[in-house]
């Protein structure tokens, strides 16, 4: 343990903090540590890394983004959108920002900013420590049109690149198309070319490849919102996937649960299947699609098994999405703990189902999303409730429990531990 911590500190010291926007786009020339095989997605458990949290005073000039409803007002009672509170006991003082929330003893509660390089490096160090293979770094396309938001996204991607190379993890870009207007996918094409040409992102040892090509993911194709198609069209999504393929990429698509049958949350347009056949990896979205262990079993039989067969017939890889639980009480005013974690049993049952349907890769949503209560990173059992805060906990489990459980999911996927319905003993 001491050698790992020492190595982390030495490597982190070689990377300057407080870089400018232009520096974030430079090619990586820092140290590289061997770790996971970044040449293939097969056998990997990847997590989604939102990296969208900002705090007043973090240098991004975005206020309390994703912590509060009004980012220009103090993150505190009445202005909150998260249901889990991060465990920040290991963070250094310069990583923490004081909020308007109080603990029961009256002390002020603090949170982190994804804009802080030390924090992102810390998160990737946790991935290494707990055997998590890497992360799909979320890059919301709709925010690329705003200079401040784009600067923050560049910073987070740069930090994630540093973290992956320093800690022997894999990372890849995932473009989320949510919120784009008609014709909005053009911004993705321009951005990807910039990342390849200026940042030379796909040349990094840590950048994930599959099938001999760099992986780029496009999330949000074919979804219905309120029963209606999204503003950006399937035709332009088709053109985007074709562009990425011609650019020499392995393309992963984040699609609705009903992608194969063209129903439920998916547009009924058969062009959807043409787009999917152009791609290389299919990853249907599942958060909120089932709510308990029995629902997981039914979903596996109804969707994952025939999905996997369809992909096999069409020479596509299948990447199921699993999640630990769900809650967006503070974000949407919905029921707190809407999909209970069941002390890890809910997440473990999904790993079991993914293994049983023959999945060779798994995507965990999400590493850091405390907004919807899907985070697997370290969260506290003692959130600030001293002035009216209402938050979930990890049901008394250690704050690193879900990191350990996700690592065990990778071991299950690779046949390193036996398949059993009971949660493996992940507590040291």
pLDDT of residue 5: 38
What number of H helices and E strands is found in the chain? 12, 14
CB atoms under 10 Å from CB of 191, counted, come to 18
Which distant-in-sequence residues (6+ apart) come within 8 Å of 54 by Cβ? 60, 62, 63, 64, 65, 66, 67, 71, 113, 114, 115, 152
Residues 65, 51 contacting (CB under 8 angstroms)? no
Nearest to 376 by CA among 354, 353, 409, 352: 409
pLDDT in tens, 201-211: 999 999 999 99
pLDDT of residue 428: 62
Tell the residue number behind the tokens 């600030």, with chain if given.
384
Which distant-in-sequence residues (6+ apart) come within 8 Å of 230 by Cβ? 177, 178, 180, 220, 223, 224
Backbone angles phi, psi at 125, to 5 degrees: -65, -40
pLDDT in tens, 3-36: 443 444 444 433 434 444 568 999 999 999 999 9
Beta strand ranges found along 74-233 (DSSP E): 96-102, 108-112, 134-140, 170-176, 209-210, 213-219, 224-225, 228-229
User: What is the pTM for the complete model shown?
Assistant: 0.95
pLDDT of residue 2: 33
Strands 209-210, 213-219: pairing is antiparallel
C-alpha neighbours within 13 Å on the C-beta side of residue 284: 29
| Average confidence (pLDDT) per 10 residues, the chain, 428 residues | 40 42 85 97 98 98 98 97 98 98 96 98 98 98 96 98 98 98 97 97 97 98 96 98 98 98 97 98 98 98 98 98 98 97 98 97 98 98 96 98 98 96 83
Burial class of 310 by CB neighbour count within 10 A (0 to 12, 13 to 18, 19+): middle
Residues 374, 325 contacting (CB under 8 angstroms)? yes
Beta strand ranges found along 297-369 (DSSP E): 317-318, 321-322, 362-364
pLDDT of residue 312: 97
Cis amide leading into 32 (omega within 30): no
Q: Which two tokens stand for residue 286?
A: 């599942």
Measure the CA–CA gap between 335 and 78, rounded to whole angstroms: 17
pLDDT of residue 23: 83
DSSP state of 86: B
Residues 110, 88 contacting (CB under 8 angstroms)? yes
Nearest to 318 by CA among 280, 348, 287, 261: 280
Measure the CA–CA gap between 238 and 252, rounded to whole angstroms: 13
pLDDT of residue 47: 98
Task: Round to the nearest angstrom and report the end-to-end CA distance of the chain.
Answer: 14
Torsion-angle region of 358 (φ positive above 0: left; ψ -120 to 50: alpha; else: beta): left
pLDDT of residue 109: 98
The rounded Cα 317 to chain-centroid distance in angstroms is: 19
pLDDT of residue 426: 74
pLDDT of residue 22: 62
Beta bridge partners of 252: 217, 281
Measure the CA–CA gap between 267 and 303, rounded to whole angstroms: 16
Measure the CA–CA gap between 309 and 262, rounded to whole angstroms: 16
Strands 134-140, 108-112: pairing is unpaired
pLDDT of residue 121: 98
């Amino acid at each position: 343990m001491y050698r790992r911590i020492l190595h982390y500190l030495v490597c982190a010291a070689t990377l300057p903090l407080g870089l400018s926007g232009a520096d974030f786009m430079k090619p990586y020339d820092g140290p590289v540590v061997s770790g996971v095989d970044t040449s293939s997605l097969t056998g990997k458990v990847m997590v989604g890394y939102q990296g969208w949290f900002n705090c007043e005073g973090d240098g991004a000039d975005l206020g309390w983004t994703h912590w509060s409803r009004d980012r220009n007002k103090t993150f505190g009672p009445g202005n909150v959108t998260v249901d889990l509170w991060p465990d920040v006991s290991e963070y250094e003082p310069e990583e923490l920002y004081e909020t308007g929330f109080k603990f029961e003893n009256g002390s002020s509660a603090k949170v982190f900013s994804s804009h802080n390089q030390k924090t992102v490096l810390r998160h990737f160090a946790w991935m290494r420590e707990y055997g998590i293979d890497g992360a799909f770094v979320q890059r919301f396309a709709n925010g690329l049109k705003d200079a401040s938001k784009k600067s923050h996204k560049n910073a987070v991607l740069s930090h994630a690149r540093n973290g992956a190379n320093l800690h022997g993890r894999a990372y890849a870009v995932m473009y989320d198309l949510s919120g784009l207007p008609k014709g909005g996918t053009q911004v993705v094409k321009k951005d990807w070319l910039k990342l390849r040409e200026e940042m030379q992102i796909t040349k990094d040892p840590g950048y994930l490849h599959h099938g001999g090509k760099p992986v780029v993911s496009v999330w949000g194709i074919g979804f219905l919102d309120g029963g209606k198609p999204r503003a950006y069209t399937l035709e332009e999504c088709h053109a985007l996937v074709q562009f990425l393929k011609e650019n020499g990429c392995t393309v992963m698509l984040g699609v609705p649960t009903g992608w194969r049958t063209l129903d439920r949350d998916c547009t009924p347009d058969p062009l959807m299947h043409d787009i999917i056949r152009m791609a290389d990896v299919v990853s249907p979205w599942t958060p909120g699609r089932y709510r308990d262990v029995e629902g997981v079993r039914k979903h596996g039989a109804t969707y994952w098994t025939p999905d996997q067969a369809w992909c096999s017939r069409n020479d596509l890889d299948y990447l199921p999405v699993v999640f630990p639980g769900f809650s967006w009480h503070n974000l949407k005013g919905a029921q707190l703990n809407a999909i209970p974690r069941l002390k890890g049993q809910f997440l473990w049952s999904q790993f079991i189902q993914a293994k049983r349907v023959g999945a060779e890769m798994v995507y965990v949503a999400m590493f850091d999303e405390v907004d919807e209560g899907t985070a697997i990173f370290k969260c506290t059992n003692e959130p600030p409730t001293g002035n009216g805060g209402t938050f979930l906990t990890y049901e008394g489990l250690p704050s690193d429990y879900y990191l350990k459980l996700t690592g065990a999911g990778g071991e299950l996927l690779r046949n390193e531990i036996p398949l059993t319905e009971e949660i493996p003993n992940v507590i040291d």
